[in-house]
């Protein structure tokens, strides 16, 4: 189970975008995330008339490693760690889910809502 998922609000802990908040747009692979407004670079693009692309300088969002971000807790207004609260057998049957648990904030213990 991934502790940080698509749609989560995260805050950057290290790097040139330290302190910036954004929403996770997607997971590139097991370790890297695309975060809205974070790690944006200028990319020089050559024109390609076959594809209809005009040349110029384009802003592009690059991926960031998941160890450099933490989930944002709106109750405290700070970064927080993620824990997994396991379901009991009766909860598994009532929820009809294949997941073994739910994600919770470590500091408060309340469930993370996406």
Residue 101, domain member (yes or no): no
- Here the tokens at position 33 are 């995330």
Q: Is the pLDDT of residue 96 over 70?
A: no
Residue 65, domain member (yes or no): yes
Residue with the bigger pLDDT between 112 and 90: it is 112
Average pLDDT, the chain: 90
Q: What share of the chain has pLDDT > 70, as a percent?
A: 89
Residue 86, domain member (yes or no): no
Residue 106, domain member (yes or no): no
Residue 44, domain member (yes or no): yes
Residue 28, domain member (yes or no): yes
Q: Is the pLDDT of residue 12 over 80?
A: yes
Residue 92, domain member (yes or no): no
Q: How many domains does the chain have?
A: 1
Q: What is the mean pLDDT of residues 2-13?
A: 94
pLDDT of residue 109: 86
Q: Is the pLDDT of residue 100 over 80?
A: no
Residue 96, domain member (yes or no): no
Output the domain CATH number for residue 16: 2.30.30.30
DSSP string for residues in 23-75 = EEEEESSSSEEEETTSSEEEEEE--BTTTTBPPEEEEEEPPEEGGGEEEEETT
Range of the domain at 27: 9-80
Which of helix, strand or coil describes residue 67? helix
Q: What's the pLDDT tens digit per position in 37-86?
A: 999 999 999 999 999 999 999 999 999 999 999 999 999 999 999 998 88
């Amino acid at each position: 189970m991934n502790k940080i998922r698509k749609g989560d609000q995260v805050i950057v802990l290290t790097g040139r975008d330290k302190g910036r908040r954004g929403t996770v747009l997607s997971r590139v692979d097991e370790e890297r995330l695309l975060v809205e407004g974070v790690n944006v670079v200028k990319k020089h693009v050559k024109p390609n008339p076959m594809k209809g692309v005009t040349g110029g300088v384009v802003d592009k969002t690059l991926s960031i490693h998941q160890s450099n971000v933490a989930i944002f807790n709106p109750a405290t207004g700070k970064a927080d760690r993620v824990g997994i609260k396991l379901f009991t057998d009766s909860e598994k049957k009532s929820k009809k889910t294949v997941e073994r648990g739910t994600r919770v904030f470590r500091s408060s213990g309340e469930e993370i809502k996406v």
